[in-house]
Amino acid sequence: MTRVALIAHDERKPDIIDMAQAYEETLADYDLLGTGTTGQRITEETDLTVERKASGPLGGDVQIASEVADDAVDGIVFLRDPLTAQPHEPDISALLRVCDVHDVPLATTETGARYLLDGLDAE
């Protein structure tokens, strides 16, 4: 089954929820995982089930990176806030590095996320 991780900085959480709602039918066929708060918000505001890792400040992004290294993730949507991200929010650099090493697509914009999800759906 296709496995996708969903992560968002605080300011982008409404955007990832909107995206999850728009792609709910597609995402319902995927095995989803996410950082703590993002995963919780998605499950509260959709009918999707998300395996929640720790919150970003507690290492949830690192837990997801570990799954990438284990070839257990097919793609990641990480809607980040490049202008006002707070120090407690997850840093993308380690996650980006492991995705590059393991050839796993990672989208950081809504447009990129749509391409990623549409591409996975076409497989």
88 marked among binding-site residues: yes
10 has catalytic annotation: no
75 marked among binding-site residues: no
List Cβ neighbours of 67 (8 Å cut-off, separation of 6 or more): 3, 5, 33, 73
Cβ atoms within 10 Å, residue 65: 23
102 marked among binding-site residues: no
35 marked among binding-site residues: yes
55 marked among binding-site residues: yes
Q: Which of 10, 61, 70, 118 is catalytic?
A: 61
List Cβ neighbours of 55 (8 Å cut-off, separation of 6 or more): 35, 36, 37
Instruction: Please list the active-site residues.
Output: 61
Binding site: residue ranges?
9, 13, 35-38, 55-56, 88
Known binding site for substrate: residues? 9, 13, 35-38, 55-56, 88
